[in-house]
Amino acid sequence: MSMNQAFRRPWYIKTTNRNTTTITDPYYDVGFKKVVVAICTPFLEKNKKQAVVCGILPLNNIRNEILDIPLPYDGIAYLMDRHGKILLHPNKEQELRNSVYGLLTKERTTTVNNELNEYIFSHDHINQSNWFIIAQLNKSSVYEKINLQLIINLTIYGLSLLGFIFLNMLYTKKQNISDEKLKKTETLLNHFIDYGDRGILIADSKNKILFFNSLFTQYLRLNKLDINDTYLEATNNIFKIYDSKIHTQIYKKIAYAKHFKKSQEHSFEFIFNNETYYFEITILPVLSSDKIYQGLMILLKDATEKEKEEIYKKEQEDILFQQAKMADLGEMIAAVSHQWRQPLNSLSIMVGNLLQFRQFGRLSDEMFEENLNHCMTNIHYLADTIETFRNFYKPSKKCQKFQVDKAIDEVFYIISPHFKTLGINLEIKKDEREDMTCLNYKNEFQQIVANLMHNAKDAIIEDKSYSKTIEVEIKLLDNNFYISFKDYGCGISKKIENQLFQSFATTKKDKGTGKGLYLSKLIAKNKLMGSLSIRNYSNPTEFLIVLPSQKEENG
Partner 1 sequence: MVDSKVLNKLSNIHVLIVEDDEMTAHVIHQSLNFYCKKVDIANNGIEGFELYEKNKPDVVIADINMPEMSGLEMAEALHEICPHLPIIIMTSYDSSENMLESINQGAYSYLRKPIRIEELQTALLMATKNIYNSSIKLEDDFHYDCSSKNLYDGYKLIKLTKTEKELVHLLMSNINKVVDFTTIESYVWQEKSMSIEALRMCVKK
- Give the binding site for partner 1 (CB under 8 A): 338, 341-350, 352-353, 356-357, 359-360, 362, 367, 371, 374, 378, 420-421, 423
Select 345 or 400, whichever has its Cβ closest to partner 1.
345
- Distant-in-sequence contacts of 215-220, Cβ < 8 A, 24+ apart: 215/300, 216/298, 216/300, 219/279, 219/300, 219/302, 220/300
Q: Work out how close the CB of 488 gets to partner 1 at its nearest, in angstroms, rounded to a whole number.
A: 21
- Please tell me whether residue 267 adopts helix, strand or coil conformation: strand
Select 207 or 346, whichever has its Cβ closest to partner 1.
346
Select 60 or 342, whichever has its Cβ closest to partner 1.
342
Select 26 or 343, whichever has its Cβ closest to partner 1.
343
* DSSP 8-state class, residue 231: B
Q: Work out how close the CB of 509 gets to partner 1 at its nearest, in angstroms, rounded to a whole number.
A: 16
Q: Exposed, middle or buried, 280 (CB in 10 Å: 0-12/13-18/19+)? A: middle
Q: Work out how close the CB of 440 gets to partner 1 at its nearest, in angstroms, rounded to a whole number.
A: 35
Q: Work out how close the CB of 358 gets to partner 1 at its nearest, in angstroms, rounded to a whole number.
A: 11
CB 22 within 8 A of CB 12: no
Q: Work out how close the CB of 370 gets to partner 1 at its nearest, in angstroms, rounded to a whole number.
A: 9
Select 315 or 370, whichever has its Cβ closest to partner 1.
370
Select 90 or 352, whichever has its Cβ closest to partner 1.
352
Distance CA 467, CA 541 (A): 12
Measure Cα distances from 70 to 87, 113, 299, 407, 533 in Å.
18, 18, 83, 110, 94
Distance CA 113, CA 481 (A): 104
Select 274 or 421, whichever has its Cβ closest to partner 1.
421
Q: Any bridge partners for residue 85, and if so which? A: 98
Distance CA 213, CA 231 (A): 16
Select 49 or 341, whichever has its Cβ closest to partner 1.
341
Q: Work out how close the CB of 505 gets to partner 1 at its nearest, in angstroms, rounded to a whole number.
A: 26
Select 133 or 461, whichever has its Cβ closest to partner 1.
461
Q: Work out how close the CB of 360 gets to partner 1 at its nearest, in angstroms, rounded to a whole number.
A: 5
Select 168 or 373, whichever has its Cβ closest to partner 1.
373
Q: How many C-beta neighbours within 10 Å does residue 441 have?
A: 22
Measure Cα distances from 50 to 3, 19, 350 in Å.
14, 11, 163
Q: Work out how close the CB of 416 gets to partner 1 at its nearest, in angstroms, rounded to a whole number.
A: 12
Q: Work out how close the CB of 271 gets to partner 1 at its nearest, in angstroms, rounded to a whole number.
A: 53
Select 20 or 342, whichever has its Cβ closest to partner 1.
342
Q: Give the contacts of 480 (CB within 8 A, at least 6 positions apart).
A: 530, 546, 547, 548, 549
Q: Give backbone dihedrals phi and psi of 174, rounded to 5 degrees, phi first.
A: -60, -45
Q: Work out how close the CB of 460 gets to partner 1 at its nearest, in angstroms, rounded to a whole number.
A: 16
Question: Hey, which bits of 435-522 come out as E strands?
Answer: 437-440, 469-477, 480-487
Question: Is-cis flag, bond preceding 540, omega within 30?
Answer: yes
Q: Work out how close the CB of 515 gets to partner 1 at its nearest, in angstroms, rounded to a whole number.
A: 23
CB 59 within 8 A of CB 37: yes
Q: Give backbone dihedrals phi and psi of 249, rounded to 5 degrees, phi first.
A: -60, -45
CB 429 within 8 A of CB 472: yes
Distance CA 208, CA 232 (A): 6
Between strands 437-440 and 400-403, the pairing is antiparallel
